[in-house]
Chains A and B, each alone.
Chain A
Amino acid sequence: MESTVTYESDLNLKATELRLGLPGTDEYEKQTPPSVRSNKRSLPDIIEESDTGDREAPVTKAQVVGWPPIRSYRKNSFQPKKIEAEATGIYVKVSMDGAPYLRKIDLKVYKGYPELLKALENMFKFTIGEYSDREGYTRSEYALTYEDKDGDWMMVGDVPWDMFMSSCKRLRIMKGSEARGLGCAV
């Protein structure tokens, strides 16, 4: 469809490779330069001459106030949407208790919880087993939690996937006694 597909699949490979970076470093910025989101262009900084030099492009490409004459109301209507919906994805940090460094994953890549769980199991080399409504993750000494928009730590799996995607800020794989506490029905 668009160039965004290849963009995303490239990053997916990168997300699952092991690397020796500092814990918590952001390799992928959430903000991409505007033209990456364009349907037509791939490189933000290069002004390509698609026509044979007929264009007399002005020397400075600096933004001129009020040009083109679009009301800011209209300009602003698009930018937020593009940042969310297009190539950037929803990147969240994943930490695991006891692991030396964090990882980052793109939630948009996964269609639902089972896929996410599997990916995390692969990434951190552990088993979390299945999730059940009543008891959480009972089969494992791990529990998967996330921090939501309000700053609360929630168990992954309780809410519909879409709601989870939009409210999840970071993930934490808890281990040990804390995890077991979460596994019991309250």
Chain B
Amino acid sequence: MREDRAEMSEDEDRALDLGGGGPDASNKTESSGGSCGAGDSPSPFPDQVLDNVLEDVLRFLTSRRDRNAVSLVCKSWCMVEALTRSDLFIGNCYAVSPRRVVDRFRSVRSLLLKGKPRFADFNLVPPNWGSYFSPWVTAMAAAYPWLEKVYLKRMTVSDEDLGLLAHSFPGFKELVLVCCEGFGTSGLSVVASRCRQLRVLDLIEDEIMDDEVDWISCFPETGTCLESLIFDCVESLVNFIALERLVARSPSLRKLRLNRHVSIGQLHRLMVQAPQLTHLGTGSFSFSDLMVQGDQEPDLVSTFAASKSLICLSGFKDILPEYLPAIYPVCANLTSLNLSYANINAEQLKPVIYRCHKLQTFWVLDSVCDEGLQAVAATCKDLRELRVFPMEAREDIEGPVSEVGLLAISEGCRQLQSILYFCQRMTNAAVVAMSKNCPELVVFRLCIMGRHRPDHLTGEPMDEGFGAIIMNCKKLTRLAISGLLTDEAFSYIGTYGKLVRTLSVAFAGDSDMGLRYVLEGCPKLQKLEIRDSPFGDSALLSGLHHYYNMRFLWMSSCKLSPLGCKEIARRMPRLVVEVISYRDEETDDAVEVLYMYRSLEGPRNDAPKFVTIL
């Protein structure tokens, strides 16, 4: 799982504050007259010494927020900071252009770039919307030949982009692609063969085309520097013999996550080759379709027992539950366990979870029911992050988990910091209890799957529950709300949500007041995504004072009109206001999707036809 890359996880930006924002800081310095470029006249001698000293000092400064602050002190500080910043974080690829970035920052080694809005994950953004990696890789190929690391999230990456990357950066070390698409196994093969220093190749929830290229065979024959190879999202078959040989010649490999086509027997063989692994994704954890005659039952228990360094386990994509006990030997050391693809029940979970005393991160399917969650609560006293995913993503069924499971978790796991919980029924009482039992909560995401569903015991809206969360959880920065909610819930958020940075709203609220409460009350709000809620133009206009401080605002199927959106665009020139249409014809009816974000560049030139930039 992505727990060791805080900035890439779904719980975005918990540790990273946008603050002035990397390139956005230049917004302020530019408006105060002049960029921090080479056009400045050389300073007299004492200042030059000071600059050199500053440069040496600043090399130790790694925090983004600190660097942004430094860059605001004065022009020369801005310049020196720009020369020494090596890690670049760009939260919205359209907020700044590659050109501007390359002009300001001269010695970048690592780039993190995010593209599409998160609701694209749920098919709310039509294909070919944008977020192309091409202009970025082209600009960096020329400017940063010593680039080592690229992290992309929700970007469109082509095979050609990967080819250019592989050819342009001889010291390239880490490629992490999360929720990206547009490339295939041929792109991967170029990276594998050309990037001889590659340490990390992490493919996480990407859509990768099967070009039938055997990319696993393309890694250097003489041995690799690979430390992490994650490809559980690759849907195509991989050449197992080549994979086995690759693992054998990668002595630094610590993280390996296999795709669902790797059978349990093959997993066994790989684990024998790599007992030093710390992170393992087990693939299917099942037999393949073709049972080769003569295959003995693999002695998985011994193999797991020999993997003394394993702390993170995932995979189990087609699990045969009777083989789950094989992991018992490692349970006591596990800090992270992802069973969210494993269709197992409470009885099958219990013997595993009862052994996992050190567990901090746990992802699971609701097939384990409230009873399974009770077992988690009884054992995992150090649990920090819990995600409960639904087996069936529907609205009209009974559902195996409920307020019972949530309550149990709140009582057993007092250190909980982050929760994502899908359910069909919930009560205010359980949510209130969690707000009091788990004061460390930073991320609270509750998804009651039935739209507009109230407290199923009292029939009341879920306002009180969410209100309690926002009031009692003093460290809360990310909130996702659901169920039947009135404007009251939003009033609570506006009154108490002083640290909230990310808010997700769906099918909630009664009137414009709801949105107004939030826009007027939450000074730290940076990412606001709303769907199917009755908020209109006047609510939108109440946020003008704040939109430049936000990364983006998404509103779909609300009550916005083209006129209202045009008014925003008129009044805020540094905001790009995109209206996305699902239908082909132009319409003056309600706006289907509004997506707006601050930007130094104005309207982008790669927008497709269904996007109108106001």
Contacts and interface: CB of A to CB of B under 8 A. Distances in A.
B343 A65 contact: no
Contacts of B391: 78
B456 A55 contact: yes
B343 A66 contact: no
B459 A54 contact: yes
A75 B393 contact: yes
Given A61-B395, A66-B122, A73-B233, A162 B291 contact: yes
Interface stretch (A33-41, A122-130, A176-184): A33-41
A69 interface: yes
A40 B394 CA distance: 13
A51 interface: yes
Contacts of A159: 293
Nearest to A54: B459
Nearest to A70: B393
Nearest to A66: B122
Interface majority SS (helix, strand, loop, mixed), chain B: loop
A57 B121 contact: no
Contacts of A64: 451, 532
A68 B205 contact: no
A70 B506 contact: no
B403 to A, nearest CB: 12
B452 to A, nearest CB: 6
Contact of A74 (B290, B389, B398, B456): B389
A2 B453 CA distance: 28
B317 interface: yes
Interface string A146-172: 000000000000011011001100000
B506 A56 contact: no
Interface string B547-561: 000000000000000
A54 B340 CA distance: 30
B265 interface: no
Contacts of B455: 54
A81 interface: yes
Contacts, number: 102
Contact of A35 (B343, B397, B456): B397
B457 to A, nearest CB: 7
B400 A68 contact: no
Contact of B389 (A47, A57, A61, A70): A70
Contacts of A69: 121-122, 447, 506
A71 B124 CA distance: 11
Interface in B42-60: none
A159 B458 CA distance: 60
A73 to B, nearest CB: 6
Nearest to A65: B123
Interface string B369-397: 00000000000000000000111111111
A73 B456 CA distance: 30
B23 interface: no
B296 to A, nearest CB: 14
A72 interface: yes
Interface in B183-200: none
Contacts of A98: none
B600 to A, nearest CB: 31
A19 B207 CA distance: 48
A40 B531 CA distance: 31
A58 interface: yes
Contacts of B532: 64
Contact of A57 (B122, B343, B396, B506): B396
B425 interface: yes
A35 B317 CA distance: 21
B400 A40 contact: yes
Interface string B435-467: 000000000000101111111111100000000
A31 interface: no
Contacts of A77: 317, 341
B310 interface: no
B291 to A, nearest CB: 5
B169 interface: no
Nearest to B295: A160
28 contacts: A34-B392, A35-B397, A39-B367, A47-B396, A50-B398, A54-B455, A54-B456, A54-B457, A55-B450, A55-B453, A55-B454, A56-B452, A56-B454, A56-B484, A65-B124, A67-B449, A69-B506, A70-B390, A72-B122, A73-B233, A74-B340, A77-B341, A78-B343, A78-B391, A78-B392, A160-B291, A162-B291, A166-B289
Interface of A: 34-35, 38-41, 47-48, 50-51, 54-58, 61, 64-75, 77-78, 81, 159-160, 162-163, 166-167
